[in-house]
Structure 1
Amino acid sequence: MEGFIGQSMLLCHLTASLSSRRYPSYNGPWSAVDGSKRKVDANLAMSDIQDSPWIQLDLSIAHCIHIIKFYKQVMGWQSDGLMDDVKITIGETVSDLADESEKHLCAYYDGKPPGEEFTMTCTQRLYGRLIRVTTVGDAKRMSVREIEVFGW
């Protein structure tokens, strides 16, 4: 997998949005793509409590996406559980991201990723400018410190 990252490049100029946000003490969705991996609560993108929360990234132009790397918040009350059972979809439009077929599915992780960071590799080559990470399990809130996208 490391060789895969070496062949791809870190894609920059991302913008992000959350399915919802209630906590003004957190910086909001842009915190997940600001390049900072600081372990402080203010550097955390967190959704409100809801069914299937998501964070969406906009690359501004389409790329071939290979790898998505997540930096989780694992301090204090924010231990694990807010990035469990996630799926990543990639597309050109918001309707692509809502498509329930496998056509736009990059990867699915059906467990509790260990540690502070984890990497998901797309199971197929997908080209798009929008990336949506959605919890599909029991988690009712999404929380992430930073997301990095690799591709070309």
Structure 2
Amino acid sequence: MTSDGPGDLVEINDKMNSREYVDILENGFIPSYRIIYPEGPVNFVQDNSAVHRAHIVRNYFAQNSYNVIAWPAKSPDLNLIGNLWRIMVNKWETGEQLPNSRNNLNRHCRGIWESLRGTDVCRNLVGSMQRRLQARIDAEGGYIKY
């Protein structure tokens, strides 16, 4: 996601590995990002999962001169994409019959994801980062409620 909205939603296997992650970056995220930002640096904010820290991923970033912003471990309070997922869950129609297949679930998720385009949801989340970071500094690195 960027402040201009969510990127492409990519379906993954039950357990993504580092090679699949690089493939998603190369064939999903970067092309989507470059439509919005054709020039300039690419900055990544990632959590500290093993997939994100894998050698193949670090090499991919280095070879493409992508910036990876240092990020504190165990910081869900600073995770914007986690907030975006929560917004998606809140938009889920609770009175509606649950999707009865993986394809229907995928279609339903994509519908909700697409409904976020053209809204200020992502811009507001990104805009909240300065306040979140200041709150983390004020808490001397401790957890904050975001």
TM-score by length of 2: 0.28
**As a proportion of its length, which structure holds more helix?**
2
**As a proportion of its length, which structure holds more strand?**
1
